[in-house]
Structure 1
């Protein structure tokens, strides 16, 4: 596997600024509520100009889902960069377990979910975000399988995988819930008893 290129000073500074903005926004949203926080409030808390804020984020909703682009790239990489001999479903299982379980067990998860669920603009943005991920993940799966991007099986697999975190959310043991759903995808439905 290729070693990722070294990240330069400029890229590190940009990433640090982006993270500072996202952190300030989330803290303010959780303290005051999404609708009571302005872009100017966030820029001041992060010690940047509003122009700088908009260079990193296209709008207020994107501040809440600050890793949206990274998550999509990581999903596609899970398919395209998986080890030889590893199936797509197993690669996506591994990706969900390593990327989503830490998020699901994060101490601020309940507050974050409450913020999103109680704010219609954020709920709608989150739903649109997942739809975009479905298209990109489906295309990566289709490319790997050598079929058309509109292949229904590839689209269904992408959609099912992206629904797993929502299905496992709130379960006593999220890891076991994720494993159960991936077992269903890998082996098909088996009636109980």
Structure 2
């Protein structure tokens, strides 16, 4: 067998092993997270220990911490992808769309689709998770960390794609993230208080239109 073919075969085997190993890690991570969320929703975030989560997931505490460095990570990792969401929206916008217009359209689409990140979702499981986060100060604090990360990512996207000075990009990002965060939080609190997503939708859209109009006036597009 020629060397080239032999090398390719070994590489394929290694890649297959790596794929299996990665899939196993993903299954373990998902099992730990599912066990944690189930316990937290049933008993409350503060009432469940990491040891109890590890036992329910049938892993050691050491293994648990290898996947999730803190107890809060067991919850907020599910939202981690949203930290850079606005930055991705700005980078992916068309040439004829301003950054603010792209973010506005994205948020309004999220409201229409009842995207949980907009706060406008009354699915029982989502509501339980929302109430749990709002009732746990350490989780609320971690969510604030995501907010700061979103500001940094969006500032970089504005600076790089809209040719804005760094300070302008940073100030603009802070304002955009703050408005969207406030809108989402208001919707989430209303859902947690018992309003329905369909009943709240017109008001959520009106509030979003108002918020983004204020941003447009302040930033001057």
TM-score by length of 2: 0.68
1:155 aligns with 2:174: yes
RMSD across aligned positions (CA): 2.8
Query: 2:80 and 2:134 mapped to 1: Cα distance?
Result: 21
Corresponding position of 1:52: 63
Larger helix fraction of residues: 2
Corresponding residue to 1:184 among 189, 195, 210 = 210
TM-score by length of 1: 0.76
1:46-96, CA deviations, whole angstroms, 9 ceiling, x for partnerless residues? 223322222222200111212233111333212212344333234323443
Corresponding residue to 1:144 among 161, 165, 180 = 161
**Which protein has the larger Cα radius of gyration, Structure 1 or Structure 2?**
2
**Structure 1, gaps ≥5 residues long:** 1-7
Corresponding position of 2:151: 134
How far 1:25 moved relative to its partner?
0.8
CA contact (8 A) 1:142 1:154 kept: no
Query: 1:83 and 1:51 mapped to 2: Cα distance?
Result: 46
Greater RCO (CA < 8 Å, at least 6 residues apart): 2
Structure 1 counterpart SS, 2:167: coil
CA contact (8 A) 2:90 2:157 kept: yes
Corresponding position of 2:185: 166
**Structure 2, gaps ≥5 residues long:** 1-18, 216-221
Corresponding position of 1:31: 42
How many residues align structurally? 182
CA contact (8 A) 1:142 1:149 kept: yes
